[in-house]
Amino acid sequence: MKFIAFNVREDELPYFKAWEKENGIQVDTVHEALTTDSLDQLAGYDGVLGLQTGTYPQKMFNKLKENNIKVFSIRNVGVDNLDLEEAKQNEIKVTNVPAYSPNAIAEFSVTQLMQLLRNTTVFRRKVVEHDFRWAPFVGKELRSLTVGVIGTGRIGRAAINIYRGFGAKVIAYDVYPNPALDREGIYVSSYDELFAQADVITMHMPATPADHHLINAASIAKMKKGVYIINTARGSLINTADLITAVKNGQVAGAALDTYENESTLFNHDWRNKEIKDETFNELLQLDNVLVTPHVAFYTEIAVQNMVYIALNSAKAVCETGTAETLIN
């Protein structure tokens, strides 16, 4: 048995090596993402591991079948950039990592909101400038706010527990309600109902065609004036230009974005001393009340180890038994 993993970061390497030693299975690692050209490197492998937010090569699963690959295992949750129908047609099993650390992402989303509520970005800048005045940047307390959680899977439920710990009122919306939460009466019946009630909207949902640009000019107009928007899910959920307009006119008091709809060429790349030609992204970076981070909400030691180990264990299970607990097709 032999695997190859693409888009492997330096921080993942120790876990790949440790798993390889523990299991006695060869795992070759490639720093570059999986591309059309790299599909020619797959001969002799039983499984391929990927991790990328951008697109995978067209007809990738056709090529995997040609090379007798049994499994394609991704080291993340989202499968919206994979052609699962093509995988099925080519009899390639696909696995993911459905929960590498829900707490990591939930904690990060709350941390970012707290920075917005207490204006820490503004105060850091003012202190550097030796302006130590307080006004007009008075903060808000979480216990006085209603938090609307969109998506109540593992991450959303972890976030709900944290927000409740601060004393906030929590409401939620999910197309597939969690039975336990449903019994508590936490759910509202629609996005619009959540938009109308929430002081904070935090998103923990997958990207689907139906929810593309869920946050846009029309939906923002239905929200409370001065709402805070937190997105640690998928960039495609927000129309960024509409959000910028709403931040500038005060309809949105602040936003924390750990993901961006055109992030694939930006995040986890070094852009120092280079011109970023994405004017919308540049405009985001100029706003004191918008916190942009490069898709790092998940990024803890526990999460990185889990992503590597679960993906490899799933690939091994498919090769040995034809199935895995994390099989998605």
Question: Annotated active-site positions, please?
Answer: 234, 263, 295
Which ranges of 139-261 does DSSP label H, i.e. alpha helix?
A: 154-165, 179-184, 191-197, 217-221, 240-248
Q: What angle do helix axes 154-165 and 102-117 make, rounded to 10 degrees?
A: 40
Distance CA 151, CA 186 (A): 12
- Positive or negative: CA dihedral 294, 297, 303, 309: negative
Identify which of 329, 304, 321 has the alpha carbon closest to the alpha carbon of residue 13: 304
Q: Which pairs with CB-CB distance under 8 Å and at least 24 residues apart come from 320-329?
A: 322/93, 323/93, 324/71, 324/93, 324/95, 326/95, 326/96, 326/97, 326/98, 327/93, 327/94, 327/95, 328/79, 328/84, 328/94, 328/95, 328/96, 329/84, 329/87, 329/88, 329/93, 329/94
CA angle (273, 279, 282) in 5-degree steps: 55
Residues 6+ apart with CB under 8 A from 210: none
Could you give the CA distance from residue 114 to residue 106 in angstroms, rounded to a whole number? 13
What residue spans of 90-190 are helical by DSSP H?
A: 102-117, 120-128, 154-165, 179-184
For residue 191, give the nearest of 160, 223, 168 by alpha carbon: 223
Cα Rg of the chain (Å, integer): 21
Cβ proximity of 113 and 163 under 8 Å: no
